[in-house]
Structures are given as C-alpha cells and as structure tokens.
Amino acid sequence: MSKLTGKTAYVTGAGRGIGRAIALKLAREGAAVVVNDLDKEPVGETIDAIEAAGGRATAAIGSVTDDGFADRFIQTGIDTFGGVDIIVNNAGYTWDSMIQDMGDDQFDAMLDVHLKAPFRILRAASDFIRSTAKAEAEAGTEVFRKVVNISSIAATGGNVGQANYASAKAGVIGLTRAMAKEWGRYKVNVNCVALGLIETRLTEAVDEKKTITVDGNDIAVGIPKGMAAMVQMIIPLGRAGTPEEAADGVYLLCAPESNYISGQTLIVGGGLTF
C-alpha cells in the first residue's frame, strides 16, 4: 500500500509545471487529488495522466484569487472524496519590475495570488479540519494532516526586481509558522518549501521576450539565456532543478515520516540559498 492511500490532496496551479508534478507524485503515492488551474485543458491533461496511472482526481478550475474560489475548491474535494488531508498551495507567477516602475496593482497582484489565496484556502478548510480532528481525538485516534505552502529563495534571500514577489513569498513563511502553532492541536503539520531555480515555462532560458496573460495582464516569462547560464553556474549542484525534483521536496513534507515536523521551511534549490 502506498503511503498516501486513502488521503485527499488539494493542489493549486496543478495544470502545468511544478504543480502538475506535485499532483502526479501525490497520486502515485495513493492520494486522490483535487486539481486546480486557471484553464480547463491543462487541468484535464493532469487528471488524464493521473487516471491513466490508476489514480483518482477531480477538477476545480478557476483563479485562486477569485472571491468564493477557496470554499468551492475545498468543498469539491469533500463532496467527491470525503476528506481534507493534504493541501499544497502552489499556484502563482512572477511579475517583475524595479521598484520605481512597480505600480500598486503589480505589488498587490503578488500578495493576492501568493499569500491571500493560501490564507483563504486554509480558512475554508478550517471547519472540516477542526471538527474532524476533534472527533478523532475523542475516539482516541491520532490522524495527521499536511499543509505545504510553496515559497521561494527570493523570500529568504531577496532578489532584484522582485520586491512584490519576495515580499509575498516571505509572507508565506510567516503564514506557515503561524498556522503550525494554531493548528498543531489538530495534528496538522504546516510546512513550507522554498524553491530555487526550477525549470518551468516561467523560468526557461529564452532568446526573445515571451509573455503569458494573467487576469488581463501581459506577464513576461523566461530568463535571458545569458542570465540563466550565470544563475546555473552559482548553483552548487550545477543545474536548475526539475519539476519532479521540486515535487519530491513537497512529498517529503506530505509523507508520514514528517509527522513530527511542523513550522519549517525546506529549501529545494540544489544548494543555492542566496
């Protein structure tokens, strides 16, 4: 039996990249997965991959920043699979500018997606978690649940052009530590993974400028090839990580072996910490 058999996992931003790798990893370990992303097609592709491997998954399409999303996301998993066991707050993107060029909307957008959305999701899950944990305690059973919030080494070390992103991701670490203390009584391990350079469409080495559209804004993605090469040179392990390696770090904090680990930030960065 896989270590997460019988668990229900919720993964935001799971249609592509790191989120998709996390969803697939948790499914391979036995969890039923609630798959979220902005668009129907990538969500469907992730679900198809999970089901093709014999796993179970369901969709919760939409932006994590939308009013009402958090409640709908959590209720989808409860209605479909009956539980709330693992929550991975992964959805997000970067929107970089030097501070003199950064508008309030650009700063707020990073806070909304990286910090406020996880807060809302955890709040939406709180009633189920508290009531279920109390019933388990009265029955004399100890059942651990897991929250893994995704941060960045930009939060722990800062990064040029990312006052908004670094601030939001630092807030994620604060949220993690607060919730580890608040939910410890309910046997919830709340931890954080701070990612370094991971190969995704947001960080790929590019010759020409590329953009994606998020909430009507054109967001530059990719890293100029010269800069990408320089960053990889200072990574002690000599290369960027893969989405699967990022997912492995998340899984460490979802597995039963992490039952006495809470309030911690695990840097998955190949030795690069800034």
* Residue 110 identity (one-letter amino acid): M
Neighbours of 188 (CB within 10 A): 25
Per-residue pLDDT of the chain (274 residues; tens, 9 = 90+): 699 999 999 999 999 999 999 999 999 999 999 999 999 999 999 999 999 999 999 999 999 999 999 999 999 999 999 999 999 999 999 999 999 999 999 999 999 999 999 999 999 999 999 999 999 999 999 999 999 999 999 999 999 999 999 999 999 999 999 999 999 999 999 999 999 999 987 777 767 777 777 877 777 777 777 777 788 889 999 999 999 999 999 999 999 999 999 999 999 999 998 7
**pTM for this entry:** 0.94
Dist CA 9 CA 26 (whole Å) = 7
Dist CA 207 CA 199 (whole Å) = 16
Fold annotation for 8-198+242-268: Rossmann fold (3.40.50)
Residue 251 falls in the annotated catalytic set: no
pLDDT the model gives residue 211: 77
Token pair 């700063």 is found at: 107
Dist CA 45 CA 36 (whole Å) = 12
Dihedral over Cα of 188, 6, 125, 252: its sign: positive
Question: Are the CB atoms for 114 and 32 separated by under 8 Å?
Answer: no
pLDDT the model gives residue 169: 98
Domain residue spans in the chain?
Answer: 8-198+242-268
The single residue of 165, 186, 251, 260 carrying the catalytic annotation is 165
pLDDT the model gives residue 49: 98
